[in-house]
A and B are shown apart, each in its own frame.
Chain A
Amino acid sequence: MKKLIALLLALVMVFALAACGQQAAPAQTGEIVINFPSIWVGTDSKAEYMGKLIEAFNAENAGAIKVVVEEQTDYQAYRDKIRTTITTGSAPDVCILDTTFDIKAYAESGKFMDLTPYLDAGWGKNFTDGAFDAWSVDGKVSILPFESAVFTPIYNKTLFEKAGWDHFPATYDEFFQFCEDCKANGINAMGQMAGDNAWSSMLWYSLIVEAIGGKDVYANGLKDPAFVEAAKVLKQMYDYTFDGAVSATAGDVNGHFIGRDTAIYLNGPWWIANFYKEDNAVDGKLLADECEVAVNPSYGDGKGNGGLVTTVQGFLAAAKQDDPAKEAAVVKFLQYVTDPTHVSELALSSGAMFFVKYTPSPDTNVISQKVTEVANSAEFTILHVNGAFPTAFSTEFPAAVSALVLGEVDEQGFVDMLQTAIDNAA
């Protein structure tokens, strides 16, 4: 009897463990379930419209296809999860990637669905010209660039006036004169951060690199002298930001700009919606009413005049499917999400930009319109540095920036730190 009980206990434990790995059964017999872990949930600017879009897709395909969203509001946790699932061979049916993933390697891995036949059949016409050029492997597209972003400074006109300026600096020399005037008037010229992922400093560094090195600055990796020169300028900028920028995070940078003590803000277009939020208004005046869109200043004899820093903010990828019916369902869902009508609505609700050809809504806010004008008038574009280099670059960037600003390394040492990180990962 004892033996029997012991054996039963052991079996119960083994089966309990085995049950942990079971997946939820489809909601209805014959219904194809598409698993979609998403960061476009919670407070994300695309959350509201994406929620409605998926609901509408499920309603239109009731009984046949069901998209099940796994909500993940923490961006880094989302990246970690997706990276792990792909590595372990259990990539989700649909997922969102960004430039922190090694997109080329993922595209080459064969773990994702080849979307080329569907794009060639007409779907590809929905996307902007050349959208797939940088991300296709051997002419095949398996990872779709979807959300784009451009990075151009936005400034607070009220603070500019307070500093005695009526225009945005056209050159970096002028920029630092402006910084001095800000300092004299107790204003932080711009927000910098070396904490977390050093996002703001990474964007500023990208702008300076673009201004100095121009469109071919990435051609020789970090060997271009523009990277060392740009490090010098970035370090100088830390003299004109708020206290504690070395340990600051994006929340600090945003908070200082919303608090009207930082004159220039640099972030992606997804943040524009916040300019129109009542919560960020002061004395009934919206932040948007005080702001103007500018372009990246030029740098001495730099090669970057008229250039623009961009990135692919979000890629859509689908795991390779053995079942043709499921593959068709996944493609149907991707086509639904990237439909120009839906993307137009998504752009309006979120302020984000996309690699899909769509007619902007006439209700698009003024700042978004101006950012789009800046994007359309750019003579050339380059990716931001995080997007242009392997993931190891972006992982090391915060440490390198803080080391540079605190004098632990010089400008060349800063670039060397980044190069070593890339080499170690290669």
Chain B
Amino acid sequence: MKPTRSDRSALAAFMAPALIIMLVFFVIPVIYVVVVSFLKWNGISTASFTDIQNFAKLFNDKAFVRSVINNVIWALVAGFIQVPLAMVMAIILSRKPRGWKFFRTVYFFPQVISGIALATLWRAIYSADTGLLNGLLRSVGLGSVARDWLGTVDTAFPAVLIYWVFYVGYYMVIMMADITTIDTSYYEAATIDGASDFQQAIYITIPLIKRTSLLTCITLASVLGLRQFEQVYMLTNGGPANTTSTMVLYMYKKLQDTNYGMASASAVVLIIVGVIFIVCIRALFNIGNDEVRAQKKVRRAVK
């Protein structure tokens, strides 16, 4: 049925607030950031056009290149280690083993704690002289392994990254919610056919959540990985020697320097990297191709 003029007016009225908000708080700022990325501007004096100098400076800056690499690693770890871990937990707990509600709460609990508080806690754990980790190592005779985890080039980035990988609760509950919507008859049939729990997970659960919650979680985790800030800021402030820096932290430091041109240029690079990631994830899950195939199918059927 074709929408009437009245329907169209109502649709426009309902969509207007969201569109206005999107325009004001997203589209215009992004355009503004892109424009500023080509300017030399300290926020108070008159801005001047510098063509691509800000971008050239960015890619000549080892700290920025390191930040991009760190973010890519972070996003990959988030999407392809953290989310699969969450998926495993979701599949196990969805089978409702004994105490599943307790474990679900335990795994989700870190999500309700502020990231700043968690980073502070881990800072104390990693502390070189009074930290729990070094204390533990010394107590079991591994004192030679003890070190300044956040102050050593080789260990700082893994130390910042590793503890966070195990906070899987957020993605776990999303996938658990999705798993509960799967028709139980599939599992019943598989059980009758003699499929083990593992086989049921591989051949029923994962394929059925792959295009929904798993894809959502991988996208979310990767994007959050690219936007990492507070954890690094609190634990290392990008140090030592910029080895743990991320793009958002780099951008923040440029804002502190009132170097709005380079800050905006790094934001543009972040947006581009984000878009590349989303396109890759969609390609990996064959999203675009399937849609195109489906549309072609429909067109052929109509003909």
Chain B facing A: main interface SS: loop
Total chain A interface residues with beta-carbon distance under 8 A: 49
CB-contact partner of B239 in A14, A17, A399, under 8 A: A399
B57 pairs with A424, CB closer than 8 A: yes
- B242 CB within 8 Å of chain A: yes
- A247 CB within 8 Å of chain B: yes
* Given A10-B16, A399-B242; A245-B151 close (CB under 8 Å): yes
Name which of A62-70, A104-112, A322-330, A345-353 contacts chain B: A104-112
List chain A residues, Cβ under 8 A from B302: none
For the complex formed, measure the closest distance between the CB of B129 and the CB atoms of chain A, giving whole angstroms.
Answer: 5
- A216 CB within 8 Å of chain B: no
* Given A6-B13, A100-B256; A105-B45 close (CB under 8 Å): yes
A408 pairs with B20, CB closer than 8 A: no
- A286 CB within 8 Å of chain B: no
Q: When chains A and B are docked, how far (Å) is the Cα of A248 from the Cα of B61? A: 25
- Counting chain B CB atoms within 10 Å of each CB, the highest count among A9, A245, A399, A408 belongs to A399
* Given A399-B241, A403-B241; A391-B148 close (CB under 8 Å): no
- A7 CB within 8 Å of chain B: yes
* Given A247-B151, A402-B241; A392-B129 close (CB under 8 Å): no
For the complex formed, measure the closest distance between the CB of A151 and the CB atoms of chain B, giving whole angstroms.
Answer: 22
- B99 CB within 8 Å of chain A: no
Chain B residues touching A, range: 35 or more
For the complex formed, measure the closest distance between the CB of B159 and the CB atoms of chain A, giving whole angstroms.
Answer: 10
Q: When chains A and B are docked, how far (Å) is the Cα of A405 from the Cα of B13? A: 62
List chain B residues, Cβ under 8 A from A86: 43-44
List chain B residues, Cβ under 8 A from A405: 240
A406 pairs with B241, CB closer than 8 A: yes
Contact with A along B149-192 (1 / 0, CB 8 A): 11111001000000000000000000000000000000000000
For the complex formed, measure the closest distance between the CB of A400 and the CB atoms of chain B, giving whole angstroms.
Answer: 8
List chain A residues, Cβ under 8 A from B212: none
Residues of B4-20 contacting chain A, CB below 8 A = 6, 9-10, 13-14, 16-17, 20
A105 pairs with B44, CB closer than 8 A: yes
Nearest residue (CB) in B for A409 is B241
A194 pairs with B240, CB closer than 8 A: yes
For the complex formed, measure the closest distance between the CB of B120 and the CB atoms of chain A, giving whole angstroms.
Answer: 11
Name which of B26-34, B88-96, B257-265 contacts chain A: B257-265
- A230 CB within 8 Å of chain B: no
- A120 CB within 8 Å of chain B: no
B127 pairs with A244, CB closer than 8 A: yes
For the complex formed, measure the closest distance between the CB of A29 and the CB atoms of chain B, giving whole angstroms.
Answer: 34
For the complex formed, measure the closest distance between the CB of A232 and the CB atoms of chain B, giving whole angstroms.
Answer: 18
- A242 CB within 8 Å of chain B: yes
Q: When chains A and B are docked, how far (Å) is the Cα of A102 from the Cα of B256? A: 10
* Given A86-B43, A244-B127; A408-B262 close (CB under 8 Å): no
Q: When chains A and B are docked, how far (Å) is the Cα of A409 from the Cα of B63? A: 14
CB-contact partner of B257 in A3, A391, A399, under 8 A: A391
Q: When chains A and B are docked, how far (Å) is the Cα of A209 from the Cα of B21? A: 53
For the complex formed, measure the closest distance between the CB of A8 and the CB atoms of chain B, giving whole angstroms.
Answer: 9
Residues of B208-255 contacting chain A, CB below 8 A = 236-242, 245, 253, 255
For the complex formed, measure the closest distance between the CB of A418 and the CB atoms of chain B, giving whole angstroms.
Answer: 12
- B105 CB within 8 Å of chain A: no
- A2 CB within 8 Å of chain B: yes
CB-contact partner of A424 in B148, B242, B262, under 8 A: B262
A87 pairs with B17, CB closer than 8 A: no
CB-contact partner of B17 in A10, A247, A399, under 8 A: A10
For the complex formed, measure the closest distance between the CB of A336 and the CB atoms of chain B, giving whole angstroms.
Answer: 28
- B128 CB within 8 Å of chain A: yes
Nearest residue (CB) in A for B127 is A244
B20 pairs with A403, CB closer than 8 A: no
Residues of A110-143 contacting chain B, CB below 8 A = 111
B148 pairs with A83, CB closer than 8 A: no
Q: When chains A and B are docked, how far (Å) is the Cα of A402 from the Cα of B126? A: 17
B9 pairs with A3, CB closer than 8 A: yes
B153 pairs with A406, CB closer than 8 A: yes
A403 pairs with B258, CB closer than 8 A: no
A195 pairs with B239, CB closer than 8 A: yes
For the complex formed, measure the closest distance between the CB of B253 and the CB atoms of chain A, giving whole angstroms.
Answer: 5
Task: Pull 11 A–B residue pairs with CB atoms less than 8 Å apart, ordered by A.
Answer: A9-B14, A10-B17, A86-B44, A246-B152, A247-B151, A247-B156, A247-B236, A247-B239, A398-B238, A399-B242, A399-B245
Task: Please provide the 3 A-B residue pairs with the shortest distance between their CB atoms, ordered closest to farther.
Answer: A244-B128, A246-B151, A247-B151
A interface residues, Cβ below 8 angstroms from B: 2-3, 6-7, 9-10, 13-14, 17, 79-80, 83, 86-87, 100, 102, 105-106, 108-109, 111, 194-197, 242-248, 252, 390-392, 395, 398-399, 402-403, 405-406, 408-409, 420-421, 424-425
